[in-house]
Amino acid sequence: MNEHFSRRSLLRFSCSVLALSVSSLVYRQVALASTEQTSAWGAWEEFKKRFLSEGGRIISNDEDSSRTYSEGQAYGLFFALVANDRVGFDKILRWTENNLCNGDMTARLPAWLWGKRKEGDWGVIDSNPASDADLWIAYALGEAGRLWGVARYRALASLLAARVLREETVEVPGLGLALLPAPVGFAEGEGRWRFNPSYMPMQVMHWLAGTEPQSAWRQLADSSLKILLGSAPKGFSPDWTLYDTKQGFLIDTKGTEKGEGTYNAIRVYLWAGMMHPDAIGRRALLKALEPMAQHIRSQGYPPESIDILTGKASGPAPSGFSVAILPFLQAQGDKAALEAQRMRLEARPLRPEAYYEQVLSLFGQGWMDGVFRFAATGHLLPQWRP
């Protein structure tokens, strides 16, 4: 009896040791994989060297090469999260809050433009916020809070999102609650508003609709898809569009683009291409924008600008457009056009000092390389998080 008990105990002990050994081995393998995946994202490291100041400011290369846009800070936060770069993330966030939010992101939206002012000093040049930057900042903060387990980030994200709802939306007959480009300057009067389709990435909209408690975000997701589809009747997205409650979508004749799709609109195809296959609206969006894929296939390059009604295009765009369009062409299943743009990028590499081209590359090439993905709900799926 005792001998039987001893053998049984020994067997249980041996099984326990084996289980612990296997568990330890699995843990070491997961830890090793995690370590490998959290290694620096080379493209982000190069971007930081060129465009990120020691204090946390993303410096564009327009005008006198010294200006900073809230959009750049927002993208910087997103890329730092994708790269698992907590130090860079905190540095960018701190500069953004101190300089674009007057030291308190819980009290105000980030100013759109910062740089050297006419008086010779440095500071905010245009305090009117940009809603696309505000959305991306809220998204980056919320996902950083989830992935890194930081409650402060999640709280900041929710407060920022609530402020966007209060200050940067408008109820539009026929559309519902819609996202304005900024709090001031985009209500044209007489039942007419001006919108920017590239300010409405559906990944971010779906994420906000699923994570924030306000039901208004679901309405914004619905109206954003309506704007994306309705503003591109021929399959070409405009930089800016007008919506009239009686006439529907109209060409924006006041803006310098005058009904063309160019440096803003290229992001519409980029965002659409990166949507999860099961994301709401993806199929309709890809089908509506298919003429752009056909145009690129026939010409061998994306146009720098294109008339959204006639399809008349300018000459070839910078190579940054080619890298931005890669996820879109892959989503369209257009292997020939995709390979042509890859070859174009080899023959005509991105300009290292071109800020916007490098931003488009971090999004487009980063997605193509599998550095990150988006879930159907919009949640970020970084490579470093197994």
Instruction: Please list the active-site residues.
Output: 71, 132
With CA atoms as reference, report the closest residue to 51 among 35, 62, 38.
Answer: 62
- As a dihedral over the C-alpha atoms of residue 295, residue 62, residue 357, residue 181, rounded to 10 degrees, the angle is -70
Structure tokens at 201: 């990435």
List Cβ neighbours of 117 (8 Å cut-off, separation of 6 or more): 123, 125
- Give the integer Cα–Cα distance in Å for 344 and 327: 15
CB 12 within 8 A of CB 19: no
List Cβ neighbours of 336 (8 Å cut-off, separation of 6 or more): 297
- β-strand partners of 380: 374
Q: Which residue shows structure tokens 């000093």?
A: 121
- Pairing type for strands 192-195 and 176-179 reads unpaired
